[in-house]
Amino acid sequence: MFLTRLLKPTVTASAHCDLPCGVYDPEQARIEAESCYKIIEKYNASSDDQFKTRAIVIKEKQAELAKHHIDVLWSDYFKPEHVQKYPEITELCWKAAKQCSKVKGSLDLAEAKTLLDMIDKIADVWTKAGGPQATRVAKAAAAKA
Amino acid sequence: MEPALRAGDWIVVTSLSRPPRVGEIVLVRDPRDAGNLMLKRVAAVADGACMIVGDRPEASTDSRTFGPVPLTNVLARAVFRYGPIRRIGWLW
């Protein structure tokens, strides 16, 4: 163990990079998760079998997209220094990705709500980690009415 | 930089007493962020600057994005990987 500590490098260099665009926002995952939530609501309110079948197919697709966006945030946006400062982010992303799988296979509105809450927690960390300034292009000032 | 380099590799670098050569893996100070060090492969050297690219262009941000890097930003050349043990070896 002593030898490992002695040999361990003290300087870190990155050998891989983000995709060039560098735009990351948990809102992308949230919109997909909101779709799942609304679809489940509509599914439960409907008595049309064809509609219900389509709702399931679309919800599964949206849940998969939410999972993809969470994975992208986790693997591309959050850096070791973020994890050091906000260690909870690892578990938040991991659990949220798993929750996407639950939503994909469920018609329980509570599961979709849980996913939304989890994405909001990721968004809190993203905001604290300077995500909005670091990754988004500022909007022009709102036009006057 | 996979497969030449993987996340977590332990690398020995040596300072350069000459301009880097095409094909070498170099330690470069990110021209966009001086606090960030990168390992990339030299694609071309000319006029006091070099083009650096990752080995996986589809997943790399390199000179195609930020242009040639001044040679003053090229700090060292990667020569040897000493960890993990199963991947020990020279980097040329």
ipTM, interface predicted TM-score of the complex = 0.80
Per-residue pLDDT tens over the stretch A62-92? 999 999 999 889 877 887 788 889 999 999 9
Q: Which candidate from B7, B38, B61 shows the least CB-CB separation from A20? A: B61
**A20 and B65: CB-CB below 8 Å?**
yes
Nearest chain A residue to B9 by CA distance is A9
B43 in contact with A, Cβ within 8 Å: no
Residue A9: the pLDDT is 86
pLDDT at A16: 64
Phi, psi of A130 (to 5 degrees): 80, 15
Are A97 and A67 spatial neighbours (Cβ–Cβ below 8 Å)?
Answer: yes
Q: Does B7 touch chain A (CB under 8 A)?
A: yes
Nearest residue, CB atoms, A11 vs list B6, B7, B37: B37
Q: Does the pLDDT value for residue A15 go beyond 90?
A: no
| Torsion sign, CA atoms A97, A103, A108, A110 | positive
Helix, strand or coil, per DSSP, at residue A14: strand
Q: Where does B10-90 sit in CATH, by number?
A: 2.10.109.10
Domain ranges of chain A: 25-132
Tens digits of residue pLDDT in B27-81: 999 888 888 899 999 999 888 999 998 887 766 778 887 889 999 999 999 999 9
Topology, domain A25-132: Four Helix Bundle (Hemerythrin (Met), subunit A) (1.20.120)
